[in-house]
Chain A
């Protein structure tokens, strides 16, 4: 695919990750375990949605400029200019490129915290590098996002520790959360075609460079949280991660039980419901200003 297309795909992927996670976090607003934490998680949701908007706006600009959008067989934007809202509200699930992890339901506070921790650790190392991307626009967005993610990582790390090394109940809830979410973490480091292309050219990043750092961070926090890092054949193997494509899709059972496919539009059942709720008004009243 062309560089432009790869860049658009990648930017949309970053945007989708941020939007879907921000959306999930915002579901806690008004229902948090204590007022102060309600505010904290809403803050994080706001940061993420802000990041999403920056990425979407950039992707939209690229699409409007080049006149070309995504490869054939994928989503065609409606007539007229593409905007951040076109991208967020008028694509169906199979055009979304967020990883599977961010769309998982909130569950209890333990699950939400663990999901945040895994994603923030990933975004931390990702944005840290992308600040130096050859694409200046992308670099600028990531520089701003990086500062926010430093805080998200700190906040979620502390909570993982608090809950892991809190009471017997909080510890077992964290273990349950780990059991539920671990299988979605592999995808964070499995590159798609568009990611590989951009990494080679210098705009993107080689995900295999991030994985060891991420793993080190997770081990560090888990140790303090008295949680066991899942040692499986898959994550002890250091072979090159497989590339996923539309054909291979979600590789359940392959690569040590890790699920993937989200970044290529193959999602879990969760995303459909998220979009149905999120996009309802735009779909019910097409073409309106709000």
Chain B
């Protein structure tokens, strides 16, 4: 969701956070509140999971909005909010070279190792 080095000329870099579209008719009069990404841990022991995004004027509001929007049907245990512009992401188009093709390094997988059945707890 951030300013990644995008080789494709097809995708414009979206204006992110605290601004909105420069030529929007609503600019300058109640213009867009910044966009925030929301992460929720719904239960003790789980990781935070990305739930979506919303607009809020500040972090406090973002947390409360997240509670209202994304935890309406469950007890949310923990909410993280991050302004979208601060999320840095890997470039999806470089995925094939950026991520180690794990299948090549078979020795990283437990099934690679042939051990006797009698061996317990491993």
Contacts and interface: CB of A to CB of B under 8 A. Distances in A.
Answer yes or no: A and B touching, Cβ < 8 Å: yes
Nearest to A44: B68
A43 B70 CA distance: 12
B69 interface: yes
B51 interface: no
A35 B55 CA distance: 9
Interface string B27-40: 00000010000000
A267 B82 CA distance: 47
Interface string A98-113: 0000000000000000
Contacts of B69: 36, 39
Contacts of A40: 64-65, 68
Contact-residue size bin, chain B (C-beta under 8 Å from the other chain): 10 to 19
B101 to A, nearest CB: 42
Nearest to A155: B64
A155 B62 CA distance: 12
Interface string B20-61: 000000000000010000000000000000000011110011
B61 to A, nearest CB: 7
A35 B35 CA distance: 13
A43 B73 CA distance: 12
A148 interface: no
Contact of B65 (A36, A154, A162): A36
Contacts of B55: 34-36
A158 interface: yes
Nearest to A33: B30
Contacts of A35: 55
Contacts of A162: 57
Contacts of B65: 36-37, 39-40
A36 B56 contact: yes
B68 A34 contact: no
Contacts of B56: 36
A39 B56 CA distance: 13
A173 to B, nearest CB: 14
Contact of A34 (B33, B60, B64): B33
A115 B91 CA distance: 49
Contact of A36 (B60, B68, B72): B68
Nearest to B54: A36
| Closest CB pairs A-B (n = 5) | A36-B65, A39-B68, A40-B68, A43-B68, A36-B54
Interface of A: 34-37, 39-40, 43, 154-155, 158, 162
Interface of B: 33, 54-57, 60-61, 64-65, 68-69, 72
25 contacts: A34-B33, A34-B55, A35-B55, A36-B54, A36-B55, A36-B56, A36-B61, A36-B65, A36-B68, A36-B69, A37-B65, A39-B65, A39-B68, A39-B69, A40-B64, A40-B65, A40-B68, A43-B68, A43-B72, A154-B64, A155-B64, A158-B60, A158-B61, A158-B64, A162-B57
